[in-house]
Amino acid sequence: MYYSGQSLAPYVASPVNVVKRMLEIAEVKPGETVYDLGCGDGRIVIIAAQEFGAKGVGVELNPNLVKESRAKVEELKLNDRVQIIQGDLMKVDLSQADVVTMYLTTGANEKIRPKLETELKSGARVVTHDFTIPKWNILQEIRFRDDYRSHTIYLYNKSKSMKIV
């Protein structure tokens, strides 16, 4: 199937305990807006809404995953707080995001970095799973094991992580 936009990473879901740690480390507050770039089945934005009182915007290229995540949002009656955008994350405006989450690749993060630098408001936090954002200062790094493998979560803040060159 043809999807408009380049796939920057395959679908691998973050385990739920990793998702919760990502949202905790970002200190997501009620009413804030969390964007997950490449949202898969929508779990990050759904948990952000259900457990942190946030608004969620998930962006996903794969129409099957969009369908699955929208069905879950509908089933949980979160339509007023969670939106799933079908399309290329590179084309979505991030200016309303308080928190951005990404579980992609280091190469993808490098490609997205200029977009974060241009569009994010100052003080917006960015949390990544397993892959760093090249040239940005890591503010916090958490490593832990689940039953299968170890995971690393990286916290960034637009105002504090952009390196002055």
Closest residue to bound ligand SAM by CB:
38
Among 11, 20, 72, 119, binds ligand SAM (CB under 6 A): 11
Residue 165 CB, shortest distance to ligand SAM, in Å, is 27
Among 33, 55, 88, 112, binds ligand SAM (CB under 6 A): 88
Site for ligand SAM in 13-72 (CB under 6 A): 13-14, 36, 38-40, 43-44, 59-62, 65
Site for ligand SAM in 104-163 (CB under 6 A): 104, 129
Alpha helices in the chain (DSSP H): 16-25, 43-52, 63-75, 106-119, 158-161
Nearer residue to ligand SAM within complex by CB, 10 or 163: 10
Neighbours of 111 (CB within 10 A): 16
**Residues near 86 by Cβ (< 8 Å), separated by ≥ 6?**
60, 61, 63, 66
Q: Phi and psi for 99 in degrees, rounded to 5?
A: -140, 135
Q: Is the dihedral of CA 88, 90, 93, 97 positive or negative?
A: positive
What are the residues binding ligand SAM (CB under 6 A)?
5-9, 11-14, 36, 38-40, 43-44, 59-62, 65, 88-90, 103-104, 129
